[in-house]
Amino acid sequence: MIEVFKVFYPTHYNFAAVSILLILLLIYLLSKKNFKWSLISLALLLAFNIAIYKRTADRSWTITFEPEKSSDPYYIPEVKKMTFSVEKNWTITDEKGEVHHWCWVEEYWQQFASIDVIAKLWGENSKKKMVKSSEDRASNIDE
């Protein structure tokens, strides 16, 4: 379990910050002898770390990179597949020297980032009007 956290927390330091803040809250509550809230914060800390461990340990993610299109008729595109796991520290260095990283946090972020908030709140027509007005405004600035 410790090995998983040694890899996870340096990569996703925002989760490490939440754990550290929960630990500091626990220390503060214990120093004030507030045992009821200390137990609650300890339970939150344990639940948070157990959830991270269960989402991370013994799992791997495979991502397929689509090839770039070329006008060369003799070019044969290769589809690249990369598999990321905690054993590999979720990083792979390709032939260009670029470091790629992927795990469940990025998967959740991709799902969250693809949500169209305006369309969800006000509907498709309002979204189209807002996009059109911002495009009109941007074209007026360029002129």
Query: What confidence tens digit (pLDDT) does each residue in 92-131 have?
Result: 666 676 666 667 777 777 787 877 776 677 666 666 777 7
Query: CB of 127 within 8 A of CB of 135?
Result: no
Return the residue matching tokens 């796991």.
Answer: 85
DSSP 8-state assignment for residue 101: E
CA–CA gap between residue 47 and residue 41 (Å, rounded): 10
Is pLDDT above 80 for 21? yes
CA–CA gap between residue 111 and residue 38 (Å, rounded): 34
* Average pLDDT of the residues of the chain: 78
Query: CB of 61 within 8 A of CB of 83?
Result: yes
The domain ranges of the chain are 2-56, 60-102
Query: What confidence tens digit (pLDDT) does each residue in 42-54 have?
Result: 999 999 999 988 8
